Amino acid sequence: MPSTILFDPIGVALAALPRWTQMAVLVDENTKAHCYPLVQHHLPDHVLIEIPSGEEHKHLGTCEHIWDALTRHHFDRKSVVLNLGGGVIGDMGGFCAATYKRGMDFVQVPTTLLAQVDASVGGKLGIDFQGFKNHLGVFQEPLFVLIDVNFLGTLSQRELRSGFAEVVKHGLIADRAAWDALRSRSLGQLDWGQVVPHSVRLKEKVVAQDPTEKGLRKILNFGHTVGHAVESWFLTHQPLGGRLLHGEAIAVGMVAEAWLSVQKGLLPASELAMIEAYLLQTYGRVALPEAALPEMAHLARQDKKNEGQVILACLLRAAGEAVYDIPLTEAEIVESLRYYAGGLT
């Protein structure tokens, strides 16, 4: 059953929730400092569970810590976990709740832009395992998702811009008018109170038609076939001092995949020019070493969405319209990365 999504100020939304026998609130050190003070006095008695922030803690060891706290406090199946944080907290806290005693309720309170417009919607939960991202997980919808854009006020500009890549993606795959509205403003001019609910509704609409990703939901992967590969490569190489955030990698992927869309005869070249100009202006151009391009393309094979040996991507027919299950070769991905890097311009 899809969850109820509330866009009210957090105090109002929390007051509307049912009462459970017990409540746990999951935070990391950042959301404890910045977000917990905004919700604490709106909550009934609860147990606070803190885990360290960061993707590197999204693993079984941290789950054990969460399950252990729930067990020590005698949580039963009628209790609830409120996940207060970004996508890591939401994915992992949801996974722990969905598996604790075969499933207890959980509520997502996403506090990053990425988590608000993407991770908290659609019921995908999970953790990383042996270096593979989201390798263990389940589909399970939270009972409620409470989205208050006021949480974004303490997010760094870089995290905000990274999450914004998913907002751009939603426009490019499904809503031409939203895309036109986004590109006519700079990031600082956007009204998150309007942009976030609209973007969430776009994702919701796609997920509702295909909850377990058998078909249409794959369009949400636009930019992610190449983007994930670039992200993975940077995770292990970190060439220019620092890692690439998810949305920054997806911005690279969206340019590369828009170019591939033109090569496949799907997208007019004029649309590519417009998409590329906007993304490069917003995200800059990430330096990709020429020698690394084949390795990156090879990494695209690992994608969970592929079938057998074939790389399947979602490409664009227009800004605002996507097509999925388009086969790509590693050589084509190398060419697209070379184009992005500036080699063919």
Residue numbers annotated as active site: 102, 124, 166, 203, 213, 217, 221, 224, 228, 246
Q: Which residue lies nearer to ligand NAD by CB, 112 or 199?
A: 112
Q: Which residue lies nearer to ligand NAD by CB, 46 or 169?
A: 169
From 109-117, 171-179, 191-199, 285-293, give the range in contact with ligand NAD by CB under 6 A: 109-117
Q: Which residue lies nearer to ligand NAD by CB, 207 or 319?
A: 207
Examine residue 112 and tell whether it contacts ligand NAD (CB under 6 A): yes
From 41-49, 152-160, 210-218, 275-283, give the range in contact with ligand NAD by CB under 6 A: 152-160
User: C-beta of 312: minimal distance to ligand NAD in Å?
Assistant: 19
- How many Cβ atoms from other residues are within 10 Å of residue 261's Cβ? 26
Encoded tokens for 270: 């004029």
Q: Which long-range contacts (CB under 8 A, 24 or more apart) does 63-71 make?
A: 63/92, 63/95, 63/96, 63/127, 66/26, 66/92, 66/93, 66/96, 67/96, 67/100, 69/24, 70/24, 70/96, 70/100
Q: Kindly list the distances between the CA atom of residue 240 and the CA atoms of 14, 233, 235, 254, in Å, as whole numbers in the listed order.
A: 43, 12, 12, 21
CA atoms within 13 Å, Cβ hemisphere of 196: 27
Residue in 63, 104, 119, 202 binding ligand NAD, rule: CB under 6 A: 119
Question: CA 88 to CA 54: how far, in whole Å?
Answer: 7
- Name the 3-class secondary structure at 59: coil
Examine residue 114 and tell whether it contacts ligand NAD (CB under 6 A): yes
Q: Which residue lies nearer to ligand NAD by CB, 77 or 304?
A: 304
Residue in 100, 151, 179, 259 binding ligand NAD, rule: CB under 6 A: 151
**Of all residues in this chain, which one has the CB nearest to ligand NAD in the complex?**
87
Examine residue 159 and tell whether it contacts ligand NAD (CB under 6 A): yes
Examine residue 317 and tell whether it contacts ligand NAD (CB under 6 A): no
Q: Which residue lies nearer to ligand NAD by CB, 22 or 62?
A: 62
Helical packing angle, 269-283 and 246-263, nearest 10°: 160
Examine residue 109 and tell whether it contacts ligand NAD (CB under 6 A): no
Q: Where are the beta strands (DSSP E) in 111-170?
A: 124-129, 132-139, 144-146
In the region spanning residues 234 to 263, those forming contacts with ligand NAD, defined by CB under 6 A, are: 246
Alpha-carbon radius of gyration of the chain? 20
Size of site (CB under 6 A) for ligand NAD = 30
Examine residue 3 and tell whether it contacts ligand NAD (CB under 6 A): no
Whose tokens are 């890097």? That residue is 341
Examine residue 140 and tell whether it contacts ligand NAD (CB under 6 A): no
Examine residue 118 and tell whether it contacts ligand NAD (CB under 6 A): yes
- Name the 3-class secondary structure at 293: helix
3: which DSSP letter?
Answer: P
In the region spanning residues 42 to 71, those forming contacts with ligand NAD, defined by CB under 6 A, are: 53-55, 58
DSSP string computed for 62-103: HHHHHHHHHHHTT--TT-EEEEEESHHHHHHHHHHHHHGGG-
User: C-beta of 223: minimal distance to ligand NAD in Å?
Assistant: 12
Examine residue 204 and tell whether it contacts ligand NAD (CB under 6 A): no
Q: Where are the beta strands (DSSP E) in the chain?
A: 4-6, 23-28, 47-51, 80-85, 105-110, 124-129, 132-139, 144-146, 311-318, 321-328
Residues of the shown chain interacting with ligand NAD in the complex, contacts defined by CB under 6 A: 28, 30-31, 34-35, 53-55, 58, 85-89, 91, 111-112, 114-115, 118-119, 122, 124, 133-134, 151, 154-155, 159, 246
